[in-house]
Structure 1
Amino acid sequence: MAATEGAAQAGPSAGPVKSRAQADGYDKTCIFCKIGSQQTDTELVHFDGDLACFKDIKPGAPQHYLVVPVKHVGNCRSLTKDHVPLVEKMVEVGKSVLQKNNITDLSDVRLGFHWPPFSSVNHLHLHVLAPASEMGFMSKIFYRIDSYWFVTAEQLIQRLNSLSESN
């Protein structure tokens, strides 16, 4: 939970924050904004300008990645129906990273988000864990489906699609 979401450690800065990074969509206090803006020494396994993916520093499974938007987006509770395409793209990136790392059984993966207040970083991030069948005891608790503190990507998409347009 909180320990696994501490995510990557901040490394040396890549220099002063550029004006683009200070624009709307960047929180200079957010570690995931810094990682997505490539201002840390965190190795990115995927970067496309919109999303970044990197290994979790406290993995809950043999392969554990975090997929984050480059622009600051609050936690999953702050999302609206308009965010469904973003969440779907995060899932696509997560699955693609797994496949590039020889995870072919996508039925044995866990893709989801910690539900606030059980997330330690207030920046949207998808946990991508595989194989789920090899998760340890504590990880099975932290990333338990149908729990109060963890929602699968599919559950989040369903929840967002059920929101009215004004939400």
Structure 2
Amino acid sequence: MLPAATKGGGMLGGPSPSCIFCQIARSSTSTPLLHSDEKVAAFPDINPSAFRHYLVISKEHIPTVKDLQRRTEDFSLVSHMLNVGQNLLQRDAPQKQYRFGFHQPPVNSVDHLHLHCLALPFEPRWRCVKYLSLGPLGGFIEAEKLLERIKPVSSTPLKL
């Protein structure tokens, strides 16, 4: 659980009144949801970069991937986001090639954790540039790589 001092709008925790994704997660906009549960909401990207382009957002306000830690809760959330995105694309764009990932600061456009779920091809083709990794400079991180980064360290000692 997050310390009380970090809870509240604009930081980790409760919804931020000025965050458009918090508004969408609370269904206080006209954005049609493809999926909604207690942890996440999913909807089509307003400016799609691929044949199908969905966003899966956390309902909790988490600004960026940089705010995730090696915790079971964070790992579980990102795993769930990826699972929801995979199911939506398999339903709506079967037989396509998929990409799943997150923009990292300073390249992220909205300060609210959101997974890009892309059924390729990119449309138009030049949009693929937005989804390149820039290594230590940030850019796009594949969901699987983020999961590796935040996988909790086992507290159970290994038996030799």
Q: Normalised by the shorter chain, which TM-score bucket?
A: 0.7 to 0.9
Distance in structure 2 (CA, Å) of the matches to 1:163 and 1:66: 28
Summarize deviations over 1:22-74 as a string: whole Å, max 9, x none.
8x521111000000000000000111122100000110001000000112112
User: Which of 126, 129, 132 is 1:144 aligned to?
Assistant: 132
Q: CA RMSD in A?
A: 2.3
User: 1:49-128 alignment to 2 at 5 Å?
Assistant: 49-82=38-71, 83-105=74-96, 108-128=97-117
Distance in structure 2 (CA, Å) of the matches to 1:78 and 1:56: 23
Aligned length: 141
- Distance verdict in 2 for CA 1:61–1:156, change over 3 Å: same
Q: TM-score with structure 2 length normalisation? A: 0.79
Percent of aligned positions with the same letter in both sequences? 37
Q: TM-score with structure 1 length normalisation? A: 0.76
Distance in structure 2 (CA, Å) of the matches to 1:163 and 1:156: 14
Q: Gaps (5+ residues) in structure 1?
A: 1-21
Which structure has more strand as a fraction of its residues? 2
Larger Rg over CA atoms? 2
Offset of residue 99 of structure 1: 1.7
Distance in structure 2 (CA, Å) of the matches to 1:29 and 1:163: 35
Question: Does the 8 Å CA contact 2:34/2:43 hold for their aligned counterparts?
Answer: yes
Q: Gaps (5+ residues) in structure 2?
A: 1-8, 156-160
